[in-house]
Amino acid sequence: MVISQAAAVFVYVAQALEADALSGQTASRVIAATKQLLLATQTDGEALLQQNFTPEAQQLIRGHFG
């Protein structure tokens, strides 16, 4: 079930953004759905960013999730 894997979903989406594999409307929709998932599951995206990504990647990803 996706709800129980919210942290993994966020990391995969963030990796796709870092690799520039998501763009345009698709990226907007995926980011919006991921934000809702994080809120619904009270998952700390910031902690996941710090654990899994370089400072440069964190900045890029935060720009998308802003």
Q: What is the arithmetic mean of pLDDT over 50-59?
A: 98
- Write the pLDDT tens digit of every residue in 1-52: 888 999 999 999 999 999 999 999 999 999 999 999 999 999 999 999 999 9
What does 1-66 look like in DSSP terms, one character per residue?
-GGGGHHHHHHHHHHHHHTT---HHHHHHHHHHHHHHHHHHT--HHHHHHHHS-HHHHHHHHHHH-
Is this model's pTM higher than 0.85 or not?
yes
